[in-house]
Amino acid sequence: MLASQKRISLLLSLLVLASLLLSACGAAATPVSAPTQSAAPPTAAPVKPTEAPPTAAPTATTVPTAIPTIPPDYLSDILKRGTLIVSTDPAYPPQSELVENAVHPTGTKCAADQHTAGEFKGFDIDAAVEIAKRLGVEACFVTPDWTLIIGGSWSDRWDISVGSVTITPERMKVLYFSQPYYTTPAALFVHKNNKTFNTPADLAGKKVGACSGCTYESYLDGSLVIPGEKIDALIKNPQFKGYDTDTSALQDLALGDGVRLDAVLTAEPTGQAFITGGKPIKELGSPIFFEYLAAAIDKKHSKDPVSLLHKVTEIIQQMHSDGTLLKLSQQYYGVDLATAAAKFDLTGLGQP
């Protein structure tokens, strides 16, 4: 009996122990959260009311708008300066020549190394002075070598050439041309006592003089092209002799020795002026071609010369319309060399 009670007591102890163990296991299975502190909700950074919202960076296809630039204007410089610097020939009558013993006047805007209008005379001179007058400035003259004038790249040493420059495609590569202010016939001259040459064709293989680098040399070598004109080569294989200016060639021809020259090709008015001056030369036949002569402007001026080109053309057209150039032509040449120039189609040159 005692043994049974002991067994029952042991069994009850085991049951109590098992119950405690099960309770312990159940508590471990359910974790108890540690107490936490309450966190304030996050607050966005304040935005200043004066700040604009960020702008997206431009994409690769965004092209900024270019601001057009206006090139500096050469005409404006001339008007501010008060002078128009003109290149011309000092020994090319009746177009231009220096006045003997002329004095550089006081009160002029022309520099000491420039000539004033009173120190020159001639058709080109009067035309240039009138252009300057209508611009509202004073004409001042310089006398560079002819090859420098037609070669362009003047480096702003002068503004314009009013020196009987013929319009040719070759010169148009470096120069702009205004409306022509006159035309001139090109003619051959021989010594007064000559009885051998009666037509231009008779000068084949003979010594013919003219200014170097001018249209007369181009005619003699067969390369001359003049817009609006048909050029016929009338002299075969001439022996060309170049001179600094036409008048030097005519001086040699007037010697009549038959050694230096047989003939000279020049502007008909220039040759006729020599005859009027008592030189023993005569014209051979009729003029062999006509050329259009205009004011020339360097394409490589340091500032844009197009406005000057347009203004000078406008003035020359006015001088045609009001009869100024016709009057000057009759005064210096006794004939009308202006009307044909007024009809020249300047648009055909393709200038701006």
Domain range annotation of the chain: 74-182+293-349, 184-290
Rounded CA gap, 95 and 181, in Å? 12
CATH topology of domain 74-182+293-349: D-Maltodextrin-Binding Protein; domain 2 (3.40.190)
Domains 74-182+293-349 and 184-290 share a fold: yes
Rounded CA gap, 208 and 238, in Å? 6
DSSP conformation class of 172: G
Q: Name the token pair of 306.
A: 């197009």
Other beta carbons less than 10 A from residue 277's beta carbon: 10
Per-residue model confidence as pLDDT tens digits over 249-285: 999 999 998 889 999 999 999 999 999 999 999 999 9
Residue 15 has pLDDT above 60, yes or no: no
Where does the pLDDT of residue 228 fall: very low under 50, low under 70, confident under 90, or very high at 90 and above?
Answer: confident
**Which pLDDT score, from 0 to 100, does residue 58 have?**
45
Residue 39 has pLDDT above 70, yes or no: no
**Which pLDDT score, from 0 to 100, does residue 29 have?**
41
Nearest to 301 by CA among 43, 82, 73, 119: 73
Q: What is the 3-state secondary structure (H, E, C) of 107-148?
A: CCCCCCCCEEHHHEECHHHHHHHHHHHHHCCEEEEECCCHHH
Per-residue model confidence as pLDDT tens digits over 143-157: 999 999 999 999 999
Q: Which residue has the higher pLDDT, 91 or 63?
A: 91
**Which pLDDT score, from 0 to 100, does residue 48 have?**
44
> The tokens 């502190």 sit on which residue?
37
Residue 14 has pLDDT above 70, yes or no: no
Residue 188 has pLDDT above 90, yes or no: yes
Of 60-69, 109-118, 224-233, highest mean pLDDT: 109-118
Mean pLDDT confidence for 339-345: 96
Rounded to 10 degrees, what is the CA torsion of 336, 323, 90, 307? -120
Rounded CA gap, 23 and 11, in Å? 19
CATH topology of domain 184-290: D-Maltodextrin-Binding Protein; domain 2 (3.40.190)
Q: Name the token pair of 178.
A: 């205004």
